[in-house]
């Protein structure tokens, strides 16, 4: 092993695309951490899913815990990026809220690894997310988006004056998260029918209607 390998630096003449390598590592690590958690995950398993080596993983991320933090950060960044790409500012507030709920429900359903990562971090009582300023800043965008939608809805006379963006975010997250996080036990107890595509579409519509009714003036019987 040469000196660059011992220090965890790329060997001389190494010409791989750094961003592609980093993304490859993050993708493999996301699967490993989602399956086995932080303590159970093995760096060697991540190596075997990538086109790189263990020393390159440590070169990019330092250690396993730092890699885990980077995976969490990237997972949340993808959600926030998806929300930003919805262009909700061009929609009426009730339609913007509908679109945001639909996106969150669909995203969580399509990304069970994200849900498992959040579940694992909750087991750790969120200690790996503490102090991650970039993660906190990225996630405040979710509340800002809802604050703009709620303010526009109140101003247009569509939403109740006491509507809370944070509470609405909690509602959206809660139902979308539960749909994935508790699927295994729900299926064992009640069967798998609810998780067929047609039933999921119907469930999503019921969730949208329920949350909209909780904020709409007309559903509340007049302005609050």
Tell me the domain boundaries of the chain. 15-62, 72-220
- Is the pLDDT at 116 greater than 50? The verdict is yes
Three-point CA angle 85, 210, 201, nearest 5°: 60
Look at domain 15-62 and name its CATH class: mainly alpha
Pick left, alpha or beta for residue 50 (phi over 0 → left; psi -120 to 50 → alpha; otherwise beta).
Answer: beta
Domains 15-62 and 72-220 share a fold: no
Look at domain 72-220 and name its CATH class: mainly alpha
pLDDT tens-digit readout, 162-214: 999 999 999 999 999 999 999 999 999 999 999 999 999 999 999 999 999 99
Q: pLDDT > 90: what percent of the chain?
A: 75
pLDDT band at 15 (very low <50, low <70, confident <90, very high): low
């Amino acid at each position: 092993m040469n000196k660059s390998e011992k220090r965890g630096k790329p060997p001389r003449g190494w010409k791989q695309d750094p961003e592609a390598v980093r993304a490859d590592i993050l993708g493999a690590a996301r699967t490993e951490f989602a399956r086995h958690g932080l303590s159970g995950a093995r760096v060697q398993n991540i190596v075997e899913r990538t086109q790189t080596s263990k020393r390159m993983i440590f070169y990019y991320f330092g250690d396993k815990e730092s890699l885990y933090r980077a995976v969490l950060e990237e997972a949340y960044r993808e959600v926030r990026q998806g929300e930003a790409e919805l262009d909700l500012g061009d929609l009426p507030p009730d339609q913007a809220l509908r679109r945001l709920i639909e996106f969150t429900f669909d995203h969580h359903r399509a990304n069970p690894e994200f849900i498992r990562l959040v579940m694992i971090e909750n087991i750790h009582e969120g200690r790996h997310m503490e102090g991650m300023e970039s993660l906190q800043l990225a996630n405040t965008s979710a509340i800002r988006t809802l604050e703009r939608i709620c303010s526009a809805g109140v101003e247009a006379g569509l939403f109740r004056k006491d509507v809370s963006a944070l509470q609405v975010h909690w509602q959206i997250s809660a139902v979308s998260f539960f749909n994935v996080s508790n699927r295994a036990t729900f299926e064992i107890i009640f069967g798998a029918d609810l998780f067929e595509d047609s039933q999921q579409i119907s469930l999503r519509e019921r969730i949208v209607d329920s949350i909209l009714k909780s904020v709409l003036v007309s559903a509340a019987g007049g302005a609050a």
